[in-house]
């Protein structure tokens, strides 16, 4: 069992603040530098089709910074599976790409990728990205046993479990049910040989139980960290999240 769980910092909403006035600040590159300094294991950005926050220029600037070692971790680029977005992801060729569903009218990602309906497009995207040099392609999917089997079937090496229903659960009972769904799906994915990530809606009060699931290797967290950074600064917000995740994992392994 792995006592280290990686923290990917999603900096989308640093760009949201900038896009509110179309200024050149706050810089996503500086945000990535601060996040790395504070212990981020990777930097996640979601280049949406509607460019509501992260812009093509952000992705290009971050990619160059990783290439020239101004940044020292790696990029996890979240992308829709459309031809346009996959072609762009192939051109950037970050270390990781996470394939996510997008609906233009959504406030944020609402559900996981429908790997059954879009099987051919997902398989094609995995092949194209791998041939372009992307080392790890993950699928952002709902935490279900069926989604694990579908992901394994299309040859995805990694899944990121959508933790949104857990995060948005209306009460403790519903949250416990959603946590069990995540745990069961994670165990099934691991049994099928998948690497397991998780993310969406995680924050300082709900991350512990997910970080305690020992087969989960990585959490991607953004909105709650950027929100906390408004009051505490980004460096402290990242350090605090990292410490909470580490303590939850270590405690869980000691109990086993
Ligand atoms: C896939 C996912 O849950 C997030 O990484 C995604 O970026 C959410 O979209 P917004 O960042 O636009 O809220
Ligand atoms: N894939 C999840 C992610 O990158 C961050 O999601 P959130 O913490 O902004 O909800």
CB atoms under 10 Å from CB of 158, counted, come to 19
User: What 3-state DSSP class applies to 54?
Assistant: coil
We report the CATH number of the domain holding residue 188 as 3.20.20.70
Give the residue, out of 109, 113, 225, with the most ligand 1 atoms within 8 A of its beta carbon, to mutate for a pocket test. 109
Q: For this structure, is 162 an active site residue?
A: no
Kindly state the tokens that stand for 74: 């790696």
How many distinct structural domains can be found in the chain? Answer: 1
Which atom of ligand 1 is the closest one to the Cα of 220? 5
Query: For position 33, what pLDDT does the model report?
Result: 98
ipTM above 0.90, yes or no: yes
How close is the Cα of 255 to the center of ligand 1, in Å? 33
Identify whether 77 is part of a domain: yes
* pLDDT tens, position by position, 73-109: 999 999 999 999 999 999 999 999 999 998 877 888 8
How many whole angstroms separate alpha carbon 232 and alpha carbon 124?
43
| Alpha-carbon dihedral 84, 163, 142, 2, rounded to 10 degrees | 100
Query: For position 22, what pLDDT does the model report?
Result: 97
Query: For position 109, what pLDDT does the model report?
Result: 81
Kindly state the tokens that stand for 148: 């694990």
How many whole angstroms separate alpha carbon 238 and alpha carbon 212?
18
User: Which ranges of the chain have pLDDT less than 50?
Assistant: none
**Entry pTM:** 0.97
Cβ-in-10-Å burial (0-12, 13-18, 19+) of 194 comes to: buried
How many whole angstroms separate alpha carbon 223 and alpha carbon 80?
19
Name the active-site residue from 33, 36, 46, 188: 46
Identify whether 55 is part of a domain: yes
Domain that holds residue 85: 6-255
CA distance to 9, 11, 138, 152, 181, per residue, from 195 (Å): 19, 23, 9, 10, 17
User: What 3-state DSSP class applies to 56?
Assistant: helix
- Only one residue has tokens 């072609």, namely 87
Nearest residue (CA) to ligand 2, atom 6:
200
Identify whether 20 is part of a domain: yes
Identify whether 58 is part of a domain: yes
Identify whether 1 is part of a domain: no
How many whole angstroms separate alpha carbon 252 and alpha carbon 143?
21
Cβ proximity of 161 and 185 under 8 Å: yes
Kindly state the tokens that stand for 206: 């709900």
How many whole angstroms separate alpha carbon 193 and alpha carbon 153?
11
Identify whether 242 is part of a domain: yes
Kindly state the tokens that stand for 51: 């460019």
């Amino acid at each position: 069992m792995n006592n280290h769980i990686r923290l990917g910092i999603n900096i989308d909403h640093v760009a949201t603040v900038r896009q509110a006035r179309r200024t050149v600040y706050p810089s996503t590159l500086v945000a990535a530098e601060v996040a790395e300094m504070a212990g981020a294991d990777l930097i996640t950005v979601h280049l949406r089709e509607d460019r509501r926050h992260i812009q093509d220029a952000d992705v290009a600037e971050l990619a160059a910074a990783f290439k020239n070692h101004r940044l020292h971790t790696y990029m996890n680029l979240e992308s829709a599976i459309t031809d346009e977005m996959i072609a762009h992801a192939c051109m950037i060729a970050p270390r990781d790409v996470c394939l996510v569903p997008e609906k233009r009218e959504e406030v944020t990602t609402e559900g996981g990728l429908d790997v059954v309906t879009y099987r051919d497009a997902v398989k094609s995207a995995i092949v194209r990205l791998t041939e372009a040099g992307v080392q790890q392609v993950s699928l952002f999917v709902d935490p279900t046993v069926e989604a694990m089997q579908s992901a394994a079937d299309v040859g995805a090496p990694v899944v990121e479990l959508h933790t949104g229903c857990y995060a948005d659960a209306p009460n403790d009972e519903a949250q416990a049910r959603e946590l069990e769904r995540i745990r069961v799906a994670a165990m099934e994915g691991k049994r099928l040989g998948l690497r397991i990530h998780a993310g969406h809606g995680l924050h300082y009060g709900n991350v512990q139980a997910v970080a305690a699931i020992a087969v989960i290797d990585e959490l991607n967290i953004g909105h709650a960290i950027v929100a906390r950074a408004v009051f505490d600064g980004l460096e402290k917000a990242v350090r605090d999240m990292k410490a909470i995740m580490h303590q939850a994992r270590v405690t869980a392994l000691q109990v086993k």
